[in-house]
Structure 1
Amino acid sequence: MPLIGYLRVSTGRQQVSGLGLEAQRSSIEQYASQIGETIEQVFVETESGSKKNRPELAAALVACKKQKATLIIAKLDRLARNVAFVSSLMEAGVEFIAVDAPYANKLMLHILSAFAEHEREMISERTKAALAAAKARGVKLGRNGAVLAAQNKAAADKHAELVQKHIMGALDEGCVTYQAIAKHLTSEGVKTADSGRWHPATVRLIMKRLNIEK
């Protein structure tokens, strides 16, 4: 039973920093190892869970049908926080596994997705209420977000600069693929931003940040 991985983050910042992606990737890889299966491909999406138009997910589903594979995700809410969307995926005939609920039947998956959708709606309502209350008090909205974004960018830039020499060293040693560079960084004991494992996608993002072409 070949597996096709699907990872999703909600913001571009999370994708660049690796936050969330490394944990999801580690989760599906560990599960695949436990059941003795191989993940043939991994598709990464940057999109809100409330949106149905997701090209990477569509590509993952096409790959699943073509290879007669099962879609594997770390958590059900990475697939969707929308009951109707989960139902449509089931009806499309693509099998999928959520690592956080691997033995859930279709009824349980519907219930879990319903809870996820309800949670998303409640978070949205609380956020709107909090913003409205803050605005009524005269608080200037968006200021903290801009500061946090600047801090996150600075941290990502700093980490990229720290690993730049190791990436250049890998290139000098003849590593010509992102996978080879990731393997080199791992062997050298170089840490990722969240102290996770190095993956080709992580290397590509950092090299893009550093404007390094290979």
Structure 2
Amino acid sequence: MLIGYLRVSTGKQQISGLGLEAQRTSIENYAAQIGETVDQFFVEAESGKKKNRPELQAALFACKRNKATLIIAKLDRLARNVAFVSSLMESGVEFIAVDAPYANKLMLHILSAFAEHEREVISERTKAALATAKERGVVLGSHGKVLARTNREAALQHASKVSPYVEAAKASGAKTLADIAQYLSENGVQTASGGQWHPMTVRRVLVRLKGKGLSGTSGT
């Protein structure tokens, strides 16, 4: 028995169905492949920063009551959510992530730790850049947009450099974000922060490449 959990970031997305339909379709298609059906869906419309997840708690309770397995569409999306990771660990409920069906709770915990570390690194770099600008006499309020644009441009430049390696990973048989992350790490390609790759950082690069109209976005 499967119980689905869908999440979108805002109430507006929930009303429009943006993101929900894709998640639902992904989950239902996978369930059909393994000969299962999804008995119930729980839909959460919350900011990624909020820790309160009533629908997640309801989904976990339903899984425990019915001895069901929780199924989600995107492991990398929810692995960044500390509330999701903590709730899942404490509940004892088994789960399936469609984009990484062989992932386990340990992998989820590791991904969450990587994501938290990446957020801290970005935060520290931003604070350092702002402090340096302030020391030079820059009025931060009027230059914030310039700094943000500079950071975006740097991220796009890095994504462009990584694009050929992403294509090479796919050509070598990489099918999932985790496969690509492993290929990039094994071939000494660094992330923008100089760390190791994991599915979430690969996804961010793919989104940037797609937005810039470059290759490296298909087949994942």
In structure 1, what is the equivalent of residue 92 of structure 2? Answer: 93
**% identical aligned pairs:** 83
Q: Go from structure 1 to structure 2 and tell me whether the alpha carbon gap of 1:93 and 1:121 turns closer, same or farther (over 3 Å shift).
A: same
Match of 2:27 in 1: 28
Measured after TM superposition, the shift of residue 90 of structure 1 is 2.0
Task: Look up the SS of the partner of 2:57 in the other structure.
Answer: helix
Q: Relative contact order (alpha carbons < 8 A, sep ≥ 6): 1 or 2 greater?
A: 1
The CA RMSD over aligned residues, in Å, is 3.1
Look up the match of 2:65: 66
Secondary structure of the corresponding residue to residue 80 of structure 2 = coil
Give yes or no for contact 2:52–2:83 (8 Å, CA) kept in 1: no
2:2 aligned partner: 3
Contact 1:83 1:110 in 2 (8 A): no
Inter-CA distance 121–97: structure 2 relative to 1 (3 Å threshold): farther
Deviation, structure 1 residue 116: 3.5
Match of 1:136 in 2: 142
Q: Which residue type is aligned with residue 52 of structure 1?
A: K
CA, structure 1 residues 80+67, in 2 after alignment: closer, same or farther (shift >3 Å)?
Answer: same
DSSP-derived class of the 1:4 partner: strand
Q: 1:72–1:98: 8 Å Cα contact kept in structure 2?
A: yes
* TM-score normalised by length of structure 2: 0.52
**Change in CA separation of 1:128 and 1:136 when aligned onto 2, cut-off 3 Å:** farther
Structure 1 SS opposite 2:42:
strand
Structure 2: give runs of 5+ residues left out of the alignment: 131-138, 146-220
Report the Cα offset of residue 77 of structure 1.
4.2
Q: How many residues of Structure 1 are paired with residues of Structure 2 in the alignment? A: 138
**Structure 1: which 5+ residue stretches go unaligned?**
140-214
The 8 Å contact of residues 8 and 19 in structure 2, kept in 1 or not, is answered as yes
Alignment of 1:1-214 (within 5 A): 2-83=1-82, 85-119=84-118, 135-137=141-143
Distance 1:82 1:112 in 2: 10
Secondary structure (helix, strand or coil) at the match of 1:6 reads strand
Q: CA deviation at 1:55?
A: 1.0
